[in-house]
Amino acid sequence: MTIEANIPTLPPLSAQSGNLRPILEWLARRAEPVAISLGAILAGLALFSIFITVVGKSPIDLFKLMYTGGFGSWFSIQNSLSRAAPLLLTALCVALPARLGLVIIGGEGAVVLGGVAAAAAALPLTGSVSPIIVLPVMAIAGMIMGGIWIGMVGVLRHYRGVNETIASLLMAYIAIALMNHFIEGPLRDPASLNKPSTTPLPADYMLGNIPGMDVNWGLVIGILACIVSWILIEATSFGFAARIAGGNVRAAQIQGLPVGRLIVGFTALAGSFAGLAGMVEVAAVQGSANASLAAGYGYTGILVAFLARHNPLAIIPVAILLGGIDASGGLIQRRMGLPDATVLVLQGTLFVVILFCETFYGRFKIFNPDLWKRTA
Amino acid sequence: MIKLLPMNRRSFLQTTAAGAAAIGLSPSLFSTTAAAQTALTVGFIYVGPKDDYGYNQAHAEGAAVIKAMPGVTVVEEENVPETVDVQKTMESMINLDGASLIFPTSFGYFDPHMLAMAAKYPDVQFRHCGGLWQEGKNPMNTGSYFGYIGQGQYLNGIAAGYASKSKKIGFVAAKPIPQVLQNINSFLLGARSVDPAITCQVIFTGEWSLAVKEAEATNALIDQGADVITCHVDSPKVVVETAAGRGAFVCGYHANQSPLAPEKYLTGAEWAWGNVYTKFVTEAQAGTPLGNFVRGGLKDGFVKMSPLGPGVSAEARTKFDATLAEMMKGSFSVFKGPIKDNKGGDAVTAGQTLAEDAIELESMAYLVEGVVGSTS
Amino acid sequence: MEGIGIWGVPLAIFAGAIRVSTPFIFVSLGESITERSGRINLGLEGTLVFGAMTAYAVAVMSNSPWLGVLAAMATGAVFGLIHGFICKFPKVNDIAIGIAMMQFGLGLAFFLGKPFIQPVAPHLPSIALGGWSSSPQIQSALNINVLFIIGALLAVALWWAFKNTRVGLILRVVGDSSDAARAMGLNPDTARLLATAVGGSLAAVGGAYLSLFYPGSWNEGISSGQGLMAVALVIFARWNPIGCFLAALLFGGAGALGPALQSVGVTQGYYLFYAAPYVLTLVILVVTSSPTRSLAGAPGALSITK
């Protein structure tokens, strides 16, 4: 005797056109991350609104200002894009190792040392070598330095079992101390009296703006890096091996995957992107390496990576969203009299809620076609 | 090498004369009817919190003075880092708030950030706190203003010289840049004018604002015998409280910290930015060109001294007042040769006198004899 | 006051070890409880700063520093509860949640703490153990804060409790294996929730010390990563509370090295000295970790040791 359960059924296959069901299945699977992420963002915004109301301000005003400041005019959009540009690269520094199951939060260290390396590499070359060569050399120097820095974390993790989260954080603090030491000591430009910096890049050596926009080329570099990373992870065997190892390192080792090479390779690549962000900051914004390199891009990148669920393509819109939130921070401060920490509270709330919503994956039947019943 | 205008005093006097004439000619400028005022929106940008009992608070207090002027709207933003963020903040103030006069108050805002914005918005006036503006090199809608606070530190030194029993005084410094070195040297020279045997020990914390290091440095100085402490960090609050807690006397800096240690506070060298901002705003409202290189010391009301505390003896008070009176007449120079540096060389040769606006002071890289410590 | 010359360095290290280490003591003791139960809480940096803010604010408003400490403990427990509650759901990455809570805690602390940057709060009392010395420097160095003494006693008490009490046993069982705990009739989630709450509470006390004693001020730069460093210290100390106490002292002494050396004339490369605590922690971690053996003494259920 069979027991019939009352599960909603789809019409039998024979009653449908042959194409509909697979499309629905495809949609359902794809919809899950989008729906849950959107739901999480909305929930986070709702919680934040409650907080703002309790503080005595109007959440509606706040969101309107956030929109105005972030996306409400061409100026605002460019503001958001400018702030998003470094985040694209520093988020990759977190997202790439995360696919391997490693949580690396010390990207800030790679950013500052990459910037110092880029500035140092430019020192002997400016004036005698054309910018077309100097800029790529700076980029390579920044990437190598950043790659070594985070790669070391990977090496320590694989060969000594040191927890990579804590190690990368310690390395970030050490990096900032090293940066200060070099900028105020051996690499200091004697003319930079009151703000120790390396020798400034001449104007024609700077990485300029995208034509027609007030945003520097770092944005394009970041987007390209995200696309390259996505291709690497989704379409190469190296990336495929990484995704497997990320699921279970021991199983991967047993299967003979080169886990050591994966870990070091990915962490070095991650660090090189962060180092590149440092180079862009030097070549496109500051013109020299100085203490302003430690601007927190590395730490905001952590948030971007987790919000994007470590998907390099998703990093692009998330970085722009966070750039917009950051961009509106100043307006919120000036118009509503709220402290600049308001933006931090919003980011923290979103972060917690998004991470919490990870638990909803696989819980809703509607997103899992395997659980849909089919009557014969 | 930064070259400075030799005519700074004269051009400043010229513009204030013009401003005064404008005031004289238009009595309605200070009438209570706002209709007679040119409405003016002024933007202030701070690198740290406004209420830090130090550098930023001094500027905020100045901003508060002009907020009370009729027709003036002030927009302020704090905690703006010295990256592209400040460019976007300035643009946001110009585009969205309608600001036509901007004061980016932190040293690192000038190059490239303020200069980039000045080039983009030639109708907006930018005035930077520092000494970097150069005629011919920088556009005319930009300028610098700064105060000769070294003389204030000299007066601090006089008070310290009388109060010290151990003949050792201490200085907690952030970074060894010329402005800081000048303050250290002035402090020691002031103390030595009371007793030539006094020495001053300096400890560099390496950062403009790092509470634990500042507390440790204060303790280390007092352990080594110093019984009067002053500092040059962004927020002297920790140094003042820690020193007073250990029983040492303190001299303040940037702003008046006497509420933090009423018994132990001798005096302090404070900024009086309110006077400076009032002059700028008055000129802007009258439509006269603003000064491009504006400097002044105690005499011009740019700098002021805190009221003398209970630890200042009558003898000390007499000498303090006498020196202050000389400074107010403009006839006093702190750096009058011969002065040796603490490595045995000559800092100021015999017969040479460096007035408070001398160019050489801007690139000071030495510590005078009697200062225990090193710049690197 | 006579200067003490080169003796200034060991004295500063000693005094600094006591002064600077107290927040580390509390945060690492709290985290050792949490990690013994099998959960890692990286959000303690946010809890510490929020605790510092709360303690300062309440002390300003009530004029009692101890009330501030109590308030901080309460808020620390709340942060711990939130962390523990969220982490018990499947698929939630507790390391990531820790980082998120850190950012949330920092943001909220800076937001709510804005009005308290200026006012002065009453300080926590200290006990002058140096009365026997005629040297003011030694007297000052031995001016030990009450919280340091409480921290030392707590370390010993926890060490004994982990070994000998029922609660300690429950904690260890839950930390080693959730299945074994359930088999014994325990609820691992509840145990971890409570352990995280207690951990957060202690971390907040560490923060209260920063704002109410040393450096004794509230502003946005009050912490230089103590919360995160303390998590590293716990691993270094092999989850042993007395080891945590000693490691915290070591770290505090290393932090005092820079200014002390400058005060006796060693001025070259002071930035490198400021990096000393971090380098020290990293070196110790490298030396004591191993890729093959899981860390000896590690709670089995702890995610970072898998």
Q: What is the complex's ipTM, to 2 decimals? A: 0.84
Give A137 or B81, the one with higher predicted confidence: A137
Closest CA to C202 of C74, C40, C102: C74
CB-based contact C201:C30 (threshold 8 Å): yes
C306 assigned to some structural domain: no
Sheet holding B228-232, edge to edge: B303-305, B265-271, B249-254, B228-232, B168-173, B199-204, B371-372
Q: Do C255 and B259 touch (CB under 8 A)?
A: no
Calculate how close chain B gets to A142, using CA atoms only, in Å. Answer: 19
Q: Do C289 and A105 touch (CB under 8 A)?
A: no
- State the Cα–Cα distance between residues A267 and A155, nearest whole angstrom: 9
Average pLDDT over residues A162-170: 87
Place of tokens 């005019």: A73
- State the Cα–Cα distance between residues C204 and C27, nearest whole angstrom: 8
Average pLDDT, chain A: 86
What pLDDT does residue A85 have? 93
For residue B206, list chain C residues with Cβ-Cβ distance below 8 A. Answer: 270-271, 274
One-letter amino acid at B360 equals E
A272 assigned to some structural domain: yes
- State the Cα–Cα distance between residues B196 and B161, nearest whole angstrom: 9
Q: Given the DSSP bridges, would you call strands B168-173 and B142-147 parallel, antiparallel or unpaired?
A: unpaired
Closest CA to A320 of A211, A215, A206: A215
Calculate how close chain B gets to A192, using CA atoms only, in Å. Answer: 8
Q: Do B220 and C140 touch (CB under 8 A)?
A: no
Number of domains in chain A: 1
Inter-CA distances, A93 with A4, A146, A268, C24, Å: 52, 10, 9, 29
Full residue range of the structural domain in which residue A168 is found: 80-323
CB-based contact B205:B232 (threshold 8 Å): no
A211 assigned to some structural domain: yes
Average pLDDT over residues A232-236: 89
C305 assigned to some structural domain: no
Chain B residue with the nearest C-alpha to that of A193: B177
C85 assigned to some structural domain: yes
pTM equals: 0.84
What pLDDT does residue B14 have? 40
Q: Do C278 and A173 touch (CB under 8 A)?
A: yes
Host H or E run for residue A365:
none
For residue B82, list chain A residues with Cβ-Cβ distance below 8 A. Answer: 292
Q: Do C272 and A177 touch (CB under 8 A)?
A: yes
Host H or E run for residue B304:
strand B303-305
What pLDDT does residue C295 have? 56
Dihedral angle over CA of C41, C47, C48, C49, nearest 10: 140
pLDDT at C222 over 60: yes
Average pLDDT over residues A243-252: 76
Question: Looking at residue C29, which CATH number applies to its domain?
Answer: 1.10.3470
For residue B93, list chain A residues with Cβ-Cβ distance below 8 A. Answer: 334
C114 assigned to some structural domain: yes
Inter-chain contacts counted by CB atoms under 8 A, chains A and B? 76
What pLDDT does residue B2 have? 34
Decide if C59 touches B, using CB distance below 8 A: no
In the three-class reduction of DSSP (H, G, I as helix; E, B as strand; rest coil), residue A10 is classed as strand
Q: Which B positions 38-57 lie with beta carbon below 8 A of chain C?
A: 49, 51-53
Full residue range of the structural domain in which residue C133 is found: 5-299
Closest CA to A336 of A47, A59, A76: A59
Inter-chain contacts counted by CB atoms under 8 A, chains A and C? 136
Number of domains in chain C: 1
Closest CA to B183 of A194, A41, C268, A40: A194
Closest CA to B309 of B272, B370, B251, B265: B265
Residues 6+ apart with CB under 8 A from C125: C65, C145, C146
Convert the pLDDT of each residue in C252-278 to its tens digit: 887 777 777 777 767 667 777 778 878
Looking at residue A129, the DSSP 8-state letter turns out to be B
C101 assigned to some structural domain: yes
Residue to mutate among C104, C239, C290, with most A CBs inside 10 A, is: C104
Q: Which C positions 15-74 lie with beta carbon below 8 A of chain A?
A: 42, 46
Decide if C118 touches A, using CB distance below 8 A: no
What pLDDT does residue B5 have? 37
CB-based contact B176:B204 (threshold 8 Å): yes
Convert the pLDDT of each residue in C99-140 to its tens digit: 889 989 999 999 998 888 878 888 888 777 766 777 777 777
Convert the pLDDT of each residue in C148-173 to its tens digit: 999 999 999 999 999 899 889 888 88
Q: What are the DSSP calls for B202-267, one per residue?
A: EEE-SSS--HHHHHHHHHHHHHTT--EEEEESS-THHHHHHHHHTT-EEEEEES--GGG-TTTEEE
Q: What percentage of chain C has pLDDT greater than the value 90?
A: 33
Question: Looking at residue A152, which CATH number applies to its domain?
Answer: 1.10.3470
pLDDT at A227 over 80: yes
Give C273 or A55, the one with higher predicted confidence: A55
**Which residues pair with residue C251 across a beta bridge?**
none
Closest CA to B12 of B103, B138, B148: B148
Closest CA to B212 of C129, A172, C107, C274: C274
Q: Do B374 and C137 touch (CB under 8 A)?
A: no
Host H or E run for residue B140:
none
Low-confidence stretches of chain B (pLDDT beneath 70): 1-37, 376
Calculate how close chain B gets to A271, using CA atoms only, in Å. Answer: 22
Give B360 or A193, the one with higher predicted confidence: B360
Average pLDDT over residues C43-70: 93
What pLDDT does residue C193 have? 93
Q: Given the DSSP bridges, would you call strands A9-10 and B303-305 parallel, antiparallel or unpaired?
A: unpaired
What pLDDT does residue A320 have? 94
Give B115 or C222, the one with higher predicted confidence: B115
**Closest in C96, C107, C269 to A355, CB measured:** C96
Q: Do C217 and B203 touch (CB under 8 A)?
A: no
CB-based contact C18:C152 (threshold 8 Å): no
What pLDDT does residue B32 have? 41
Most confident of A266-270, A306-310, B223-227: A266-270
Least confident of A58-67, B292-301, C1-10, C33-42: C1-10
Average pLDDT over residues C23-49: 92
pLDDT at A287 over 50: yes
Q: What is the 3-state secondary structure (H, E, C) of chain C?
A: CCCCHHHHHHHHHHHHHHHHHHHHHHHHHHHHHHHHCCCCCCCHHHHHHHHHHHHHHHHHHHCCHHHHHHHHHHHHHHHHHHHHHHHCCCCCCHHHHHHHHHHHHHHHHHHHHHHHCCCCCCCCCEEECCCCCCCHHHHHHCEEEHHHHHHHHHHHHHHHHHHHCHHHHHHHHHHHCHHHHHHCCCCHHHHHHHHHHHHHHHHHHHHHHHHHCCCCCCCCCCCCCHHHHHHHHHHHCCCCHHHHHHHHHHHHHHHHHHHHHHHCCCCCCHHHHHCHHHHHHHHHHHHHCCCCCCCCCCCCCCHHHC
Convert the pLDDT of each residue in B306-344 to its tens digit: 999 998 999 999 999 999 999 998 888 888 878 888 888
CB-based contact C259:B216 (threshold 8 Å): yes
Neighbouring chains of B at 3+ CB pairs within 8 Å? Answer: A, C
Q: Do C286 and A352 touch (CB under 8 A)?
A: no
Least confident of B39-48, B53-62, C192-201, C296-305: C296-305
Calculate how close chain C gets to B330, using CA atoms only, in Å. Answer: 35
Q: How many CB atoms lie within 10 A of CB B165?
A: 9
For residue A177, list chain C residues with Cβ-Cβ distance below 8 A. Answer: 271-272, 274-275, 278
